[in-house]
Structure 1
Protein backbone atom coordinates (compact mmCIF):
# COMPACT_ATOMS: atom_id res chain seq x y z
CA UNK A 1 0.00 0.00 0.00
CA UNK A 2 0.92 3.65 -0.35
CA UNK A 3 -0.04 6.63 1.79
CA UNK A 4 0.06 10.05 0.13
CA UNK A 5 0.02 13.25 2.19
CA UNK A 6 -0.85 16.36 0.23
CA UNK A 7 0.99 19.34 1.75
CA UNK A 8 0.97 18.15 5.37
CA UNK A 9 1.33 20.96 7.90
CA UNK A 10 1.83 19.44 11.35
CA UNK A 11 5.11 17.58 11.94
CA UNK A 12 3.77 15.39 14.74
CA UNK A 13 1.03 14.04 12.47
CA UNK A 14 3.49 13.23 9.70
CA UNK A 15 5.86 11.63 12.23
CA UNK A 16 3.07 9.42 13.57
CA UNK A 17 2.06 8.47 10.03
CA UNK A 18 5.69 7.71 9.15
CA UNK A 19 5.88 5.36 12.13
CA UNK A 20 2.69 3.58 11.02
CA UNK A 21 4.02 3.28 7.48
CA UNK A 22 7.36 1.90 8.71
CA UNK A 23 5.68 -0.77 10.82
CA UNK A 24 3.30 -1.84 8.04
CA UNK A 25 5.77 -1.72 5.13
CA UNK A 26 3.68 1.00 3.52
CA UNK A 27 5.39 3.57 1.32
CA UNK A 28 4.88 7.20 2.38
CA UNK A 29 4.62 9.91 -0.28
CA UNK A 30 4.82 13.59 0.73
CA UNK A 31 3.73 16.32 -1.67
CA UNK A 32 5.26 19.76 -1.11
CA UNK A 33 5.11 22.35 0.17
CA UNK A 34 5.43 20.86 3.63
CA UNK A 35 4.49 22.92 6.68
CA UNK A 36 7.72 21.92 8.42
CA UNK A 37 11.32 20.88 7.85
CA UNK A 38 12.11 17.18 7.58
CA UNK A 39 14.77 17.86 10.22
CA UNK A 40 12.25 19.23 12.73
CA UNK A 41 12.57 17.63 16.18
CA UNK A 42 8.80 17.10 16.61
CA UNK A 43 8.68 15.16 13.34
CA UNK A 44 11.66 13.01 14.33
CA UNK A 45 10.34 12.42 17.85
CA UNK A 46 6.88 11.33 16.67
CA UNK A 47 8.49 8.86 14.27
CA UNK A 48 10.80 7.54 17.01
CA UNK A 49 13.68 5.43 15.70
CA UNK A 50 11.69 4.03 12.77
CA UNK A 51 12.99 6.42 10.11
CA UNK A 52 15.50 3.96 8.68
CA UNK A 53 12.63 1.48 8.11
CA UNK A 54 10.54 3.98 6.16
CA UNK A 55 10.21 3.98 2.37
CA UNK A 56 9.75 7.72 1.77
CA UNK A 57 9.29 9.66 -1.47
CA UNK A 58 8.95 13.45 -1.67
CA UNK A 59 7.47 15.39 -4.59
CA UNK A 60 7.60 19.05 -5.54
CA UNK A 61 3.91 19.19 -6.50
CA UNK A 62 0.84 17.06 -7.22
CA UNK A 63 1.77 17.17 -10.92
CA UNK A 64 5.24 15.82 -10.05
CA UNK A 65 3.61 13.04 -8.02
CA UNK A 66 1.31 12.04 -10.92
CA UNK A 67 4.14 12.23 -13.44
CA UNK A 68 6.30 9.87 -11.36
CA UNK A 69 3.41 7.55 -10.45
CA UNK A 70 1.32 7.32 -13.61
CA UNK A 71 -1.39 4.70 -14.05
CA UNK A 72 -2.05 4.27 -10.32
CA UNK A 73 -5.21 3.54 -8.37
CA UNK A 74 -5.71 6.70 -6.31
CA UNK A 75 -8.17 6.82 -3.41
CA UNK A 76 -8.92 10.27 -1.95
CA UNK A 77 -10.09 10.75 1.61
CA UNK A 78 -12.39 13.75 1.97
CA UNK A 79 -15.25 14.89 4.17
CA UNK A 80 -17.05 15.87 0.93
CA UNK A 81 -17.49 12.28 -0.34
CA UNK A 82 -20.61 10.16 -0.09
CA UNK A 83 -18.96 6.68 -0.04
CA UNK A 84 -17.47 5.35 3.21
CA UNK A 85 -13.88 4.10 3.37
CA UNK A 86 -14.97 0.55 4.23
CA UNK A 87 -16.99 0.17 1.01
CA UNK A 88 -13.91 0.57 -1.20
CA UNK A 89 -12.14 -2.49 -2.63
CA UNK A 90 -8.54 -1.36 -2.21
CA UNK A 91 -6.01 -2.35 -4.83
CA UNK A 92 -3.02 -4.11 -3.27
CA UNK A 93 -0.73 -1.37 -4.56
CA UNK A 94 -3.27 1.45 -4.16
CA UNK A 95 -2.42 5.03 -3.23
CA UNK A 96 -4.53 6.47 -0.41
CA UNK A 97 -4.33 10.26 -0.40
CA UNK A 98 -5.06 12.63 2.50
CA UNK A 99 -5.15 16.43 2.36
CA UNK A 100 -3.50 19.01 4.53
CA UNK A 101 -4.86 19.49 8.00
CA UNK A 102 -6.38 22.95 7.54
CA UNK A 103 -7.76 22.78 3.99
CA UNK A 104 -7.89 19.20 2.75
CA UNK A 105 -7.38 18.49 -0.94
CA UNK A 106 -7.99 21.21 -3.58
CA UNK A 107 -11.16 21.11 -5.66
CA UNK A 108 -9.19 20.56 -8.88
CA UNK A 109 -7.98 17.19 -7.63
CA UNK A 110 -11.52 16.34 -6.46
CA UNK A 111 -12.83 17.12 -9.94
CA UNK A 112 -10.17 14.99 -11.60
CA UNK A 113 -11.05 11.92 -9.50
CA UNK A 114 -14.78 12.16 -8.69
CA UNK A 115 -15.34 8.40 -8.39
CA UNK A 116 -12.30 7.82 -6.18
CA UNK A 117 -13.37 9.84 -3.17
CA UNK A 118 -14.44 8.42 0.17
CA UNK A 119 -14.83 9.43 3.79
CA UNK A 120 -14.84 8.24 7.36
CA UNK A 121 -18.34 8.47 8.86
CA UNK A 122 -18.76 10.92 11.74
CA UNK A 123 -21.39 13.08 13.33
CA UNK A 124 -22.89 15.99 11.44
CA UNK A 125 -21.81 19.03 13.43
CA UNK A 126 -20.19 22.26 12.22
CA UNK A 127 -17.39 22.09 14.83
CA UNK A 128 -16.69 18.36 14.44
CA UNK A 129 -15.36 18.69 10.90
CA UNK A 130 -12.79 15.90 10.71
CA UNK A 131 -10.54 13.51 12.61
CA UNK A 132 -6.88 14.04 13.34
CA UNK A 133 -4.88 13.27 10.21
CA UNK A 134 -2.76 10.50 11.72
CA UNK A 135 -5.86 8.83 13.19
CA UNK A 136 -7.64 9.00 9.83
CA UNK A 137 -4.65 7.44 8.06
CA UNK A 138 -4.57 4.58 10.58
CA UNK A 139 -8.28 3.85 10.24
CA UNK A 140 -8.21 3.70 6.45
CA UNK A 141 -4.81 2.04 6.03
CA UNK A 142 -5.69 -0.80 8.37
CA UNK A 143 -8.95 -1.42 6.52
CA UNK A 144 -7.01 -1.63 3.25
CA UNK A 145 -4.44 -3.97 4.84
CA UNK A 146 -7.23 -6.09 6.38
CA UNK A 147 -8.77 -6.58 2.94
CA UNK A 148 -5.47 -8.14 1.85
CA UNK A 149 -5.23 -10.31 4.98
CA UNK A 150 -2.39 -8.17 6.39
CA UNK A 151 -0.11 -9.73 3.78
CA UNK A 152 3.53 -9.71 4.88
CA UNK A 153 2.73 -8.59 8.43
CA UNK A 154 2.85 -10.75 11.55
Structure 2
Protein backbone atom coordinates (compact mmCIF):
# COMPACT_ATOMS: atom_id res chain seq x y z
CA UNK A 1 0.00 0.00 0.00
CA UNK A 2 1.45 3.35 -1.04
CA UNK A 3 1.47 6.24 1.40
CA UNK A 4 0.82 9.84 0.37
CA UNK A 5 2.01 12.41 2.90
CA UNK A 6 0.82 16.03 2.75
CA UNK A 7 2.85 18.44 4.85
CA UNK A 8 0.66 21.35 5.96
CA UNK A 9 -1.78 21.35 3.02
CA UNK A 10 -3.62 24.64 2.62
CA UNK A 11 -6.43 24.08 0.10
CA UNK A 12 -9.30 21.77 0.98
CA UNK A 13 -10.21 21.08 -2.65
CA UNK A 14 -6.71 19.76 -3.38
CA UNK A 15 -6.76 17.55 -0.31
CA UNK A 16 -10.24 16.28 -1.19
CA UNK A 17 -9.12 15.37 -4.70
CA UNK A 18 -6.00 13.68 -3.32
CA UNK A 19 -8.19 11.73 -0.89
CA UNK A 20 -10.30 10.49 -3.78
CA UNK A 21 -7.14 9.43 -5.65
CA UNK A 22 -5.96 7.57 -2.55
CA UNK A 23 -9.25 5.67 -2.29
CA UNK A 24 -9.11 4.78 -6.02
CA UNK A 25 -5.57 3.41 -5.63
CA UNK A 26 -5.80 1.81 -2.19
CA UNK A 27 -3.26 4.28 -0.81
CA UNK A 28 -3.11 5.75 2.68
CA UNK A 29 -3.24 9.51 3.21
CA UNK A 30 -1.17 11.16 5.95
CA UNK A 31 -1.97 14.80 6.79
CA UNK A 32 0.56 16.77 8.83
CA UNK A 33 -0.75 19.83 10.67
CA UNK A 34 -1.25 22.69 10.62
CA UNK A 35 -3.91 22.28 7.95
CA UNK A 36 -5.29 25.31 6.12
CA UNK A 37 -8.83 24.01 6.65
CA UNK A 38 -10.97 21.97 9.01
CA UNK A 39 -11.08 18.26 8.25
CA UNK A 40 -14.91 18.37 8.18
CA UNK A 41 -15.14 21.31 5.73
CA UNK A 42 -17.76 20.97 2.99
CA UNK A 43 -15.30 21.87 0.24
CA UNK A 44 -12.97 19.08 1.34
CA UNK A 45 -15.70 16.48 1.26
CA UNK A 46 -17.19 17.91 -1.95
CA UNK A 47 -13.88 17.43 -3.77
CA UNK A 48 -13.56 13.91 -2.33
CA UNK A 49 -17.19 13.17 -3.22
CA UNK A 50 -18.65 10.20 -1.41
CA UNK A 51 -15.24 8.52 -1.23
CA UNK A 52 -14.05 10.42 1.85
CA UNK A 53 -15.68 7.93 4.25
CA UNK A 54 -13.69 5.10 2.60
CA UNK A 55 -10.36 6.93 2.95
CA UNK A 56 -7.59 5.57 5.19
CA UNK A 57 -6.41 8.91 6.60
CA UNK A 58 -4.33 9.86 9.65
CA UNK A 59 -3.68 13.37 10.94
CA UNK A 60 -0.43 14.24 12.77
CA UNK A 61 0.43 17.19 15.01
CA UNK A 62 3.68 17.93 13.13
CA UNK A 63 6.45 16.31 11.10
CA UNK A 64 8.25 14.80 14.14
CA UNK A 65 4.93 13.24 15.23
CA UNK A 66 4.56 11.71 11.74
CA UNK A 67 8.08 10.23 11.90
CA UNK A 68 7.59 8.93 15.44
CA UNK A 69 4.37 7.14 14.49
CA UNK A 70 5.78 5.86 11.16
CA UNK A 71 9.43 4.94 11.84
CA UNK A 72 9.59 2.86 8.64
CA UNK A 73 9.01 6.06 6.65
CA UNK A 74 12.56 7.21 7.41
CA UNK A 75 13.89 4.50 5.05
CA UNK A 76 11.21 4.68 2.33
CA UNK A 77 10.26 8.33 1.94
CA UNK A 78 10.47 10.31 -1.28
CA UNK A 79 10.24 14.09 -1.21
CA UNK A 80 8.36 15.54 -4.18
CA UNK A 81 9.82 19.00 -4.74
CA UNK A 82 10.79 21.37 -7.52
CA UNK A 83 14.24 21.36 -5.85
CA UNK A 84 14.68 17.60 -6.35
CA UNK A 85 17.78 16.22 -8.03
CA UNK A 86 16.04 13.12 -9.43
CA UNK A 87 13.24 12.91 -11.97
CA UNK A 88 10.32 11.04 -10.38
CA UNK A 89 10.60 8.24 -12.97
CA UNK A 90 14.29 7.63 -12.20
CA UNK A 91 13.82 6.18 -8.71
CA UNK A 92 12.47 2.77 -7.68
CA UNK A 93 9.48 2.93 -5.35
CA UNK A 94 8.93 0.19 -2.80
CA UNK A 95 5.36 -1.21 -2.66
CA UNK A 96 4.82 0.59 0.66
CA UNK A 97 6.75 3.78 -0.11
CA UNK A 98 5.93 7.14 1.45
CA UNK A 99 5.72 10.05 -0.99
CA UNK A 100 5.64 13.46 0.65
CA UNK A 101 4.40 16.73 -0.83
CA UNK A 102 4.66 20.18 0.75
CA UNK A 103 2.08 22.89 1.15
CA UNK A 104 0.84 24.65 -1.94
CA UNK A 105 2.45 28.03 -1.19
CA UNK A 106 5.94 26.93 -0.14
CA UNK A 107 6.57 23.22 -0.70
CA UNK A 108 8.69 21.14 1.68
CA UNK A 109 11.07 23.17 3.90
CA UNK A 110 14.72 22.92 2.89
CA UNK A 111 15.64 21.75 6.42
CA UNK A 112 13.71 18.56 5.68
CA UNK A 113 14.91 18.25 2.07
CA UNK A 114 18.62 18.25 2.96
CA UNK A 115 18.04 15.12 5.05
CA UNK A 116 16.59 13.35 2.00
CA UNK A 117 18.81 14.56 -0.83
CA UNK A 118 18.95 11.14 -2.54
CA UNK A 119 15.18 10.67 -2.51
CA UNK A 120 14.14 14.21 -3.48
CA UNK A 121 12.19 13.82 -6.71
CA UNK A 122 11.02 16.29 -9.31
CA UNK A 123 8.38 16.38 -12.05
CA UNK A 124 10.06 17.97 -15.10
CA UNK A 125 8.63 21.31 -16.27
CA UNK A 126 9.76 23.93 -18.75
CA UNK A 127 10.92 27.45 -17.98
CA UNK A 128 10.27 29.15 -14.70
CA UNK A 129 6.95 27.48 -13.90
CA UNK A 130 6.81 27.42 -10.11
CA UNK A 131 4.98 24.11 -9.78
CA UNK A 132 2.05 21.97 -10.87
CA UNK A 133 -1.20 21.82 -8.92
CA UNK A 134 -0.72 19.70 -5.79
CA UNK A 135 -3.47 17.19 -6.61
CA UNK A 136 -2.10 16.75 -10.15
CA UNK A 137 1.43 16.27 -8.82
CA UNK A 138 0.27 13.58 -6.40
CA UNK A 139 -1.54 11.74 -9.20
CA UNK A 140 1.48 11.87 -11.55
CA UNK A 141 3.97 10.53 -9.01
CA UNK A 142 1.62 8.05 -7.32
CA UNK A 143 0.66 6.40 -10.60
CA UNK A 144 4.32 6.04 -11.57
CA UNK A 145 5.00 4.33 -8.24
CA UNK A 146 1.99 2.06 -8.77
CA UNK A 147 3.07 1.30 -12.36
CA UNK A 148 6.51 0.27 -11.16
CA UNK A 149 4.82 -2.16 -8.78
CA UNK A 150 2.59 -3.68 -11.46
CA UNK A 151 -0.60 -1.94 -10.29
CA UNK A 152 -0.78 -4.57 -7.58
CA UNK A 153 -4.35 -5.25 -6.38
CA UNK A 154 -5.81 -2.86 -8.97
CA UNK A 155 -8.17 -3.57 -11.82
CA UNK A 156 -6.24 -2.99 -15.05
CA UNK A 157 -8.97 -3.79 -17.60
CA UNK A 158 -12.32 -2.15 -18.14
CA UNK A 159 -15.53 -3.67 -19.42
CA UNK A 160 -18.21 -2.33 -21.74
CA UNK A 161 -21.72 -2.70 -20.38
CA UNK A 162 -23.75 -2.75 -23.60
CA UNK A 163 -21.30 -3.58 -26.37
CA UNK A 164 -18.41 -5.94 -26.76
CA UNK A 165 -14.92 -4.97 -27.82
CA UNK A 166 -14.04 -6.12 -31.35
TM-score (norm: length of structure 1): 0.97
Distance in 1 separating the partners of 2:64 and 2:144? 28
- Alignment of 1:77 onto 2:80: yes
What does residue 147 of structure 1 align with? 148
User: Shift of the alpha carbon at 1:71?
Assistant: 2.7
- Alignment of 1:40 onto 2:41: yes
Distance in 1 separating the partners of 2:121 and 2:91? 8
What does residue 104 of structure 2 align with? 101
The superposition leaves residues 17-42 of structure 1 with CA deviations (integer Å, 9 ceiling, x where unpaired) of 00000111100000000000011111
Larger Rg over CA atoms: 2
TM-score (norm: length of structure 2): 0.90
Q: How many residues align?
A: 152
What does residue 124 of structure 1 align with? 127
- Runs (4+) of structure 1 exceeding 4 A deviation are none
Whether the 8 Å contact between 2:84 and 2:121 is mirrored in structure 1 is: yes
Distance in 2 separating the partners of 1:144 and 1:124? 26
Question: Unpaired segments of 5 or more residues in structure 2?
Answer: 156-166
User: Shift of the alpha carbon at 1:82?
Assistant: 2.0
What does residue 49 of structure 1 align with? 50
Question: Unpaired segments of 5 or more residues in structure 1?
Answer: none
RMSD value, Cα: 0.7
